[in-house]
Each structure stands twice: as structure tokens, then as C-alpha cells.
Chains A and B, each alone.
Chain A
Amino acid sequence: MRRRTFLTCAAAAFGAAARAPLAWAVPKPYSWEAAPPTTNSEAFVKWMVANRGEEPHFLAQRFGRCQMLVVNHDVLDERNKRAFLMTPREEFTLKRNQGRAYDHAFLDIGFGVTISGPHVVSRMTSSLDVKLGEKVLEIGTGSGYQSAYLANLTDKVWSIEIIKPLAERTRDVLDGLIGRGYSEYQAISTRHADGYYGWPQAAPFDKIIVTCGIDHVPPPLLQQLRLGGIMVIPIGPPGAQRLLKIVKEQETDGTIKVARVDIYGGRIVPFVPFTKIDGDTIKGTHNQR
């Protein structure tokens, strides 16, 4: 075999091998008690390879991004940290974007839909404060990543997608992952429908996430939100969304009231992190080059 041919074949084989881990089965069954190490990248990768059978390269990136989330206060507690670390974001991106799965960026997933950046997803999910056993409705399934993330926080997730081919593709992704041993995703019920009307059969919900553009909050969703429940809606262009938080409460006189707040408790914060990862460390601000 000529040297050039050999090298070409070897490179192709290596490339194929690099993709192969995505089809691995999960070695150990999912457990709510199982928690990966969160203090050390090496330990995290080792634990995840042993327990989840995921690819070390992505795991290292996931851990690095998680550090950024913590620094940026996008995840506020161990439960949300665990949920982020346990969710293989790379499985929910298009193949061509897998290398950028853990970038601080929203990515195209086709059909005019994006998978939100990790900071947005984490901050939005943290603001919902989902507890195990709570019922969560998502309007706009999209890539399925948000649902998968939620499935690591609760065992009751409903998700509606308006674009039929996208709904079907994402269902296939979830089913494929379930087949490989990601049993936690069995908690996700999906359907193709108009999210404006919610999912009355499964209502009321403790938490609702709306990730589609509309000029008002759909009344059916507010009706399907449990008293004391929280709804979160990102508003604005994809790169600079502001998270609107809606809380449904009952006044002392019995009337129901909806309060619009932001997720920052009235504080003004930069939504985009002004920090960046340099190797294993977090450095500087946007202006520090």
C-alpha cells in the first residue's frame, strides 16, 4: 500500500472511530442518586465514561462549560449542575455543529429553529427551580435538549412542537437515546401540536417554559399553570434574549393575579457572560484579549 493511501485510510478510520462513541450504550442504569464528580474535570470524565459511556472529548468540554455556568451564576445549585453535566448536549445538535456543542452560542438545528446556548438554557432552567416530581410543560420542543435537561430534574416533562418534521426528528433522537440506555428520557412526553393551547389533558403544570415567538402570553397556558406556578419566556433576538418570568398567584380576596418579573429579582445583569475559558481556567472580560 502506498504511503499516501495508507495515511488517507488511517485518517478515515480514525475519523469514523471518533464518531463511533456517540452510538455507545449507557453502561449503568440511570439513578437519581447517581451524581458525577463536580470538582475535577479528570474525575468527572472518568466517572461519566464508566457510568454513561460518553465520549471523553465532549465530556471535558461539558465540564469546562459547566465551570463557566457556575461562575456566571447560570446554575445555582448542585441539582442544576448535575442536570447540566448529565445531559449530552452534543446528541441534540446537528452533526455539523457537534464540535461547537459547548460553545457559548446558539446553533442552527434546521427548520428556522436554534438550540439555545448553554448559558441561556441553564439560566432559564435554574430560574424555574424545578423539583423532582413537579410537572413541567415545554412549548417549543426544538432540539429536545431542554426537555432532556429537565428530565434530570423531574420525572414529568411534557413538550409540544409546532413544526411536524422537527417534532418527529426530535422524537426519534429521544427514542434513540432511550434505546441506548438513557432511561431518564422516558419521562418526556412529546407531541406535535399548536402549543398555544397547551396540553389540557396533562394540566395543571407546576412550571412552563415557552420558547416560541408570540406577541402575547397565551391565555390557555396561564390557565394551565398551577397557582404558585412559574412560567419563563425568553424575549428578544436569539443572541440577547431577556428572560421574562411570570408568577401566578392568588390574592387574599381570592382573585388570581399574574406578576411579570424578570428572573434576576429586579437586578440588572449582563445576560451574556463577560468571561471566557482559556484552557482550564476562566479569565477576564470581553475586553481582555
Chain B
Amino acid sequence: MRTGAAAWLALAGLVARAGYDRTARRVRTFNLRPLSRPLSRRIIGTMSLRAPARGQSTSELEPTPQLYLSVGLIAGAVIALQIAIMRIFSVGSWAHFGSLVVSLAMLGFGLTSAIMCVRKDWFERHWQRVAMAALMLFGPLTVAANLAAQQTPFNAIFLVSDPAQKWRLFGNFLLYMLPFLAGAFYLGTVFLKAQRLFGRVYFADLTGSGLCGLVFLGAMYLLAPENLLMVPLALWCAGSVLWFMALGRPRAIAWVSAVAIGCGVAHLAAPSLGLASLAVSDYKGVSYARKFPDSERVYERASPFGYLEVYASSYLHFAPGLSDNAAFNLPAMPTNAYLGLYIDGEGPSGIIRDLPAAETAYFRYLPMIYPYLIKQAPDTFVVQFGGGISTAIALKSGSKSVTVAEGNPTVLSAFRNDKGLREFTGDVLNNPNVKVIDYEGRLYLAHTDRRYDIIDLSLADSAGLSSPGGFAIVEKFAYSREAMTSYMRALKEGGVLSVTLWNKEEPPKSVLKLYATMAAAAREADGDNIADRFFVVASYLSTASVLYKRGGFTPEEVAKLRAHTRAMSFDEIYYPGFAFAPTDAATVLQDYKNSIFPDGPTQDPDAASEGRKGGEGPPPENGTLPATTMGQMAWHHLVHGGWDELARRYVFDTRLLTNDRPYFAAYVKPADLLRVSDRLELLQDEWGFLLVWATLAIACVAALSLVLLPLAFGWRTIFSRNPGKFRTIVYFACLGAGYIMVEVGLISKFIEALSNATVSASVLITGMLVCSGAGSLVSERYFARARSIMPRIFLAIGALLIGYGLALDSALDWIGTFPYALRLLFSFALIFPPAFLMGFPMPTAMTLLARLGKDHMFLWAWGINGCFSVVGAALVPVIATSFGLGAVLMASGCAYLLATVGFFAVLLPLAAPTSRAAVT
């Protein structure tokens, strides 16, 4: 179930990272508000247009409504294209590679800026032709690049083993960059020529960006993923027509309309000619379902919450974590008991049929049955509905009442409204004994007065059977220490919290983080005495279940649970009274380390081959598997002390999940990142995290190259009269990185209160654009006093962001208690102060550059800002996974404080022209 949310989150992150906000950055760069009249005159005076030479375009831009609409629509088309490409990657292959490709493609804006900076005069002379060419090419390049990329898709699963795949990925990046280049040239040209209209153009761009983003969100309800590309095409067509209307070019209108129709037809007709417009990888979960001989898609729905498909097939079998002993104690497993649920092609999650009692005997062999062994007629809360297995078990196990939460409205809608699904599931969500909470269970439990006998959080994600592309970095707030504490406090006295997680990793990673998180939550809820609170079992390479009982387990209950564990042949990891005998503890730790990092080179191949220390030694005498020993050791130290030292010695990062750092991913310790580069195949499930580092490295190199490009092509001539160049670069780099980090960081953070990544992204993106726009509008009043006002603005931004970094958790937790409309309102209220102030620095500095006649610096600043916004976006997950989301905001605050220093360089006037410069 979470896969869809994860994919969308990646999309939302991208939207914020490289798209929506990226455009905002670009736009802000050119934001020179309508100025007070005398000041406007002065600026226009300094930026007077040159007399047209022979053969040059002579007309100037007129401030018509068509012009503003055109800018808004083209800016919106660029945003829509970014989201569309992300959707194509999410559904066709894997979202985080789409994020990589589009993030890097956005560097095209930096490239455009550098080129325009170097050849400014040429672009000023030929602006009409440049804009026309860019507009004419945007649509065809969009369709052609997508079709070409889809015919040569790269396959993430072979990224390490097949050298050709790296080139395919690079090819995807180059192809998808082409339409962005066209869009960047158009917008760059407009801004270059619209200096005296900057304020209004900026406003048009900002509003257009916001509205078009919302239009795309709406379109996601109507269009299948493969046709979402029609949205940027439609926006581009409308924007182009309006542009040529503004210029009074009727023939061009006819041409661009014809080109647009051709593009639309080409995109829609391509599949019928054997050219896929969205090629779904054979390795996606849904591809397997489609190959089953009797498979039939019984439900389909596109929405911003993911592309949901449900397949029926007799080949679908689910029994997550089933004890092997079921084979010898049950006559048969029920047939056709499940449908397969896929979100964005990922899955399956099992949708369970309404089974008759005779067919539910196998429930006893599932790990989710544990709490029901010791609680009779409980009031049960299921934290996540998923495909309904936990709910079915709760109902069949005699629950007096069942309350079930589900945060994905598309899933809820499917189960509540679709006739076929309602019949298959026995209309479970409309069952009078089932109460449905239509938002995240953790938020409900944190603030309800109701108390439950059993709270179940079991296998919320699909088994990940088809996740060879690795897992994106996804916020798992449902598993954070704060969430666990809420669950524990929502239990009646003697109530049981049951958490089951996949345990298919070797060396163990996620389960150790879960253990640490639950132990920390228990200490928060109960104090230090937690020895009798837990009962933990695992099945090797299957599942692990942690039971927490409020008030502690009785000896009778422990005996009963242990007997069941033996009957199931599960492994005991911890129970009250468990005595861990650490005979081979040190060896296990060292061997796990050696299994990934044999310590140093060796001259003896034999020694190297088997991991030397681990492989060559005798097997453990007691026959206990290392993973079991590791789990037992972890619980021993979590309960009796010494966990920190154990975690330090363990090969992977096992820090607990908190609301500030809610990630199962990112288990490679940062210090080991360089050491894993030659063994990536061992860490395939960490590729989402490693790709973030790769993106950051590439973005840094590319940004640096693009920033330096104008230097290579004439630093002396272009910037000979610009003092304070370095500090100016620092200024715009800080703004570029700082703004995007706030935005992306807050999107992740606000999920905590808004409980949905899509809503959070929409609120944050729109909210920040609008608020910053308002700030920008107001900032023009203070241009004359910029020298004294701006330092205070930077100080205020820095203080606000650092304050948010420290205190936002509490505020969001509080906001989460209100009805949804109020939550949205409070969210906007929280966004407003920093976003409003963050609207000041860019237009103020750009106005000043223009006012001072620093035309080249004006263009260069655009590129620097753009490049560093890509760098900043890549920095967010790196900082968040290492130090937490609060640290992201604090780092942004520091960036704004640092920008204060650079601001005074912006104020420096041009040096007097030397005779050489004058000649040049």
C-alpha cells in the first residue's frame, strides 16, 4: 500500500526539488517589481535598450495580457513536464531514477543562463527568433524525447552488472533535458527583454506556475499516466498561441497550432505504431501479474495518490509470514483468496476475500495472530488497512469492535464504492462492526480519548517482491518513536501493541531499527523498567513481530506465547525473563562487518574468498543463526543497557526512527559511503539513498562547471567592472540552495500533520509560491532602504528557520489534532512568515543589479541560483537522513544568514570603465 505513497512522495519531492519551486526560483531571479516611478525611471535609464542594428529584431515587448498569460502558461508547462516525466518513471520503472534524471535535466536552466550571459548582446538582438524557435521546439522535443527514451529504457536492476545501462541512463538524461532547454531559452529571453516589466512578468509567472501545478494535480484524476504528457503540451500550445498574439504574428499562431496538433497526435498514435509512450519494465510487479494466463484487471483508477490497479488471478497467493508448519497441519490453503493491489505498478499487496470460517484456519499460522492469543473479544485498532488482511484477522479472531485507518483516499474509495471489490471483500469497510478513520492511524491515536485492547501495525508495505530498483527514501512516520509512543498510550491497561515487519534482510537492518525505536518509545511511555513489556519473535528471512503489553506480560501469557512460538517453529528473540548468553556475540558483530567490508586487502585469495574471519571459523555450536543471535543481542542491550556501543560496532546504521528522521532507508553509515562503491550489488535496497549522493555529486560538479562557464569565455571582458564577484556568487548560491531546502524539507515535515505526501506537497508548493510572491510585492517598497532593511530580513529568516528546525515537531503534532480544514489553515499560517520574508532577497538583489547596470551579472546570477537550487534539493535527503529534517531547516537558516555577507557585494557599483574595457 505504501508503495504508491512512496512513489508519489518521490514525485512530490521532485516537484519541489526541481520543478515547481525551481521555476519559482527562476522567476524570482527576474523579479523586479513595478517600482516607484522615480526609481523606475532611474532603472530604465540605466538599462536603456540599445538601438537596433540593421537586420535585427526591432520591436519590443508590450505589456499585454497575452504576454503575461503566455509566460504563466509556459512556466506552467515546464512544471507540468517535470511532474509528467516523474510519473512516467514512477509507473514505468522506478521513481527515484526519474528524480535523478529530471533534477539533472533542470541544470539545463543553468546552462541556458551561462550561454545567455556569454552571448548577451546576440540574444538581445535576436530575441524574437530565439523565443519563436524555443516555442516551436518545446512540444516536438517533449514528444520526441519521451518516445526516444521509452524505446531505449534503462533497467535499474542491471545498473551495476551491465555497463550499457549507465549509458542508457545518461541517454535518458540528455533526451529529457532537450525540452527543458527550449523552455529555459524562451523564459530567459522574455526576462531579458522584459526588464522594465519584471514585476508583472514575475507575477504572471508565479501565478501561472501555481495554477498550472494545480491543473496537473487535477489532470492526474482524469488521465492515465501515459497520457499525462498531454498536460504540458496543452499548456505549451496555449502559451505559444498567446505569445504570438502578443507579438501580432497570426501566421506563427497557425504554425504553432499545427505543430501542437501534430505533437498531440504523434504522442497518442505512437502506441498503435508500436512505439510505447510509457514502457512498463518487465521487472515491475504489475508486469508479472499481467503475464499470468488467467489474470484480469478488475479495477483501475488514476489519481494524484497513485495509479491504482487491481488484478485477479488464481496465481496470486498471499500468506505473509506463514509458519512452515501450516503445511503439515492444514488440509489446504484457500484458493482464489486474494486479489493483487498495485500502486504505480508496485506490489502486490493482497486484497483478501471474505473467507468463510472453514477457510480461515490458516490465520493461526500467521504472525499477526499473536495478540489475539492473549486478548479475548478485544477492541481492535488496525493502523493501516492495506489490503485488509489485518482487518480480516481482527474480525475473525473475535474482536468486539474494529477501527481501521487508511490514509490513501483512492484506496478507501475503491473499497467503499467499487461493486466488484465490495462483493469480493464482503463490503468490509461498510461493515457495521468496522469503523473507518480516513486519515493516518498514528494521528488519530495520538489524539483520541478512546483506548484499545489491541493495536495492530502489520506488514503495511507489500513484500517488495519486485523491488530490484531499490527503495526510495520515504518518510515512515507510522514507525517513528513518537508514533509508537502514541500507540502505546492509546492502549487500555493490559492492551497489546503488535508490530510485524518484513525480516528479509541479511545482515538485518530494518528490524534492528524497529527494535531500537520500540524500546525507546516504551521508555518514554513507561520509564526505564521495560523488561517485562516485550515479546519478540522472528522467522528467518520472513517476518519479525514485536508485541508490547501495557503493564507487562504475565508469566502465564509468556508461557502461552512461547508455546505458540514453538508450535509455529518461529525463533524466540526476546521475552520477559529471557537470558541471553553472549558466547558468540563479538564474533557475530565482526563477521557481519567482514561480510560487507573484509578489513583491508589481502594477498591470499583463499582468505579473501570466504570473508576470512567469518567464513573460515566453525559454525556456532548451538545452531542459532547469526540473524537470530543479532536480534537477541539487540534486545538484551536495549533492555539492559549497552545498545549504543552495540550499534556503534554494527556494520550498518541502526539509529531509531523519529519524526525528525523517519527513515528505514539510509542504513549505510556515511563514513562507509566511499567503501561501498565497488560492491553496490550487495546494497541494492539502498540504491535510492546512494542515488541521492550520486545526484548531489553530479549536481555539484555540473553547477560548478556552469558557474565557471562565463569565466572561461571572457571573465575579464564580461565582469571586468563588477566588484565583489565572489561574494555575489555566494549570495545567489545561498538563496538558491536555501530556498529549495526549506521547501523540500517542509514538504517532508508537513506530512507529519497533513498525513499525506500529495497534500503536503500541494500545500507547501502553492503556499510558498504565493507567500513569497506577496513578500516580493512588498519588498519593492523597501528598495531605497535595502542596505539597512535587508540585513534585518536575513536575520529574521535565519532566526525563523532555525526556530522552526527546533520547534516545528511540537507545532505539527498539535496541528494534527484538528479537523482537516483547520489543519490546512494552520499549515498556511506556519508557512507564511518565513516564505513571505524569503520573497524579499531575490527581487531586491536583482533590482539592484539591474539598477547598477550589471547586466551580465544579472544573467549569471540566474544560472547560479538555478544550479544551486538543484544542489540544495539533492542536499535535503542527505542532511535529513544523517541529521534529521530539523537540521535541513537550520542549514537553510544558516544559508540565509551567510547571504547577508554577500548582499553588500551586490550593492557595490560598477567600476569606472577603463580605456580597454571601453574599447571592448
Interface positions of A (Cβ within 8 A of B) = 71-73, 100, 103, 105-108, 110-114, 162-164, 194, 196, 213-223, 235-240, 242, 244, 246, 255-262, 264-275, 282-289
Contacts and interface: CB of A to CB of B under 8 A. Distances in A.
B605 A270 contact: no
5 contacts: A72-B610, A105-B161, A222-B327, A268-B588, A274-B611
Contact of A239 (B160, B321, B326): B160
B681 A239 contact: yes
Contacts of A110: 282
Contacts of A73: 609-610, 615
Given A219-B332, A246-B324, A259-B569, 9 more contacts: A73-B615, A108-B155, A108-B162, A236-B504, A264-B615, A267-B619, A269-B614, A271-B595, A274-B598
B609 A267 contact: no
B479 interface: no
B147 to A, nearest CB: 22
A32 to B, nearest CB: 30
Interface of B: 155, 157-158, 160-162, 281-284, 287-288, 291-293, 314-315, 317-322, 324-328, 330, 332-333, 463, 465-468, 470, 504-507, 539-542, 569, 588, 591-592, 594-596, 598, 600-602, 605-606, 608-611, 614-615, 617-620, 623-626, 675, 678-685
Contacts of A236: 504-506, 684-685
A223 B541 contact: no
B800 to A, nearest CB: 43
Contacts of A272: 679, 681-682
Nearest to B620: A266
Nearest to B601: A288
A14 B605 CA distance: 38
Given A240-B682, A240-B683, A270 B291 contact: no
A239 B161 contact: yes
Given A72-B610, A108-B158, A244-B540, A260 B598 contact: no
A209 to B, nearest CB: 16
Contacts of A258: 324-325, 327-328, 569
Query: Binding site of B, secondary structure by majority: helix, strand, loop or mixed?
Result: loop
Contact of A223 (B328, B605, B618): B328
Nearest to B596: A270
Contacts of A257: 325, 569
Q: Indicate the member of B601, B605, B625 with the most A CB atoms within 10 Å.
A: B605
B684 A238 contact: yes
Contact of A268 (B320, B602, B614): B614
A256 B322 CA distance: 16
Contacts, number: 207
Given A215-B463, A216-B319, A274-B598, A242 B609 contact: no
**Most A C-beta atoms less than 10 A away, residue of B317, B330, B609, B611:** B609
Contacts of A237: 157, 467-468, 470, 684-685
B617 A267 contact: yes
B541 A219 contact: no
B541 A238 contact: no
Contacts of A286: 678-679
Contacts of B463: 213-215
B168 to A, nearest CB: 13
A112 B684 contact: no
Contact of A214 (B317, B675, B681): B317
Contacts of B287: 112
A284 B507 CA distance: 24
Closest 3 CB pairs of A and B: A239-B681, A112-B282, A213-B465
Nearest to B280: A112
Contacts of A267: 591, 614-615, 617-620, 626
A270 B626 contact: no
B542 A268 contact: no
A214 B291 CA distance: 16
Contacts of B592: 268
Contacts of A275: 605, 608-609
Contacts of A108: 155, 158, 162
A260 B158 contact: no
A287 B614 contact: no
Contact of A215 (B283, B318, B327): B318
A225 B291 CA distance: 28
Given A267-B614, A270-B611, A112 B281 contact: yes
A269 B595 contact: yes
B509 to A, nearest CB: 12
A217 B679 contact: no
A184 B547 CA distance: 53
Nearest to B618: A267
Nearest to B328: A256
Contact of A240 (B284, B598, B610, B684): B684
Nearest to B624: A266
A19 B678 CA distance: 33
Contacts of B625: 260-262, 266
- Chain A CB within 10 A, most for which of B470, B505, B611: B611
Contacts of A103: 161
Contacts of A113: 282
A235 B541 contact: yes
Interface centre among A246, A274, A288 (most CB of B within 10 A): A274
Given A196-B317, A216-B321, A284-B608, A112 B465 contact: no
Contacts of A273: 609
A268 B465 contact: no
A240 B592 CA distance: 14
Contact of B291 (A72, A111, A264): A111
A289 B470 CA distance: 27
B678 A287 contact: yes
From B322, B540, B569, B618, residue with most partner A Cβ within 10 Å: B540
A283 B610 contact: no
A266 B324 contact: no
A285 B541 CA distance: 28
Nearest to A273: B609
